[in-house]
Amino acid sequence: GQSLEQPSEVTAVEGAIVQINCTYQTSGFYGLSWYQQHDGGAPTFLSYNGLDGLEETGRFSSFLSRSDSYGYLLLQELQMKDSASYFCAVPRGQNFVFGPGTRLSVLP
């Protein structure tokens, strides 16, 4: 089966850099995705790592180390609008397992 672990909460100030970690235990691995969800909103896709290394998309980057069963989402130049919950997810067969989510609070 699959299980994912994330910190429940992270707090940072505007302009800072924050890293949200995700560790996983899976029976087989096919990639790690990240989704953002604002309060009351729907999750939206941020990034996908199918291979080890860093994927960069603007202010957001995602990293994967399959040998360590570990990944992270890196948010740079934090803005107030980045306050949201962030979920990592892994494929399980034809569907997906989501982590419990990390609530990011960005302070002025």
CA distances from 71 to 9, 46, 52, 82 (A): 17, 14, 9, 19
Nearer to other proteins, 15 or 41 (CB): 41
The mark string for 29-68 relative to other proteins (x by CB under 8 A, - otherwise) is -xx---x-----xxxxx--x-x------------------
Beta strand 102-107 with 9-13: parallel, antiparallel or unpaired?
Answer: parallel
Report the residue from 10, 60, 76, 91 that binds other proteins according to the rule CB under 8 A. Answer: 91
Query: Least distance in Å: CB of 96 to other proteins?
Result: 7
Check if the beta carbon of residue 13 is closer than 8 Å to that of residue 104: no
Q: Kindly state the DSSP code that residue 94 receives in the 8-state scheme.
A: T
Q: Which residue ranges make up the site for other proteins (CB under 8 A)?
A: 30-31, 35, 41-45, 48, 50, 87, 89, 91-101
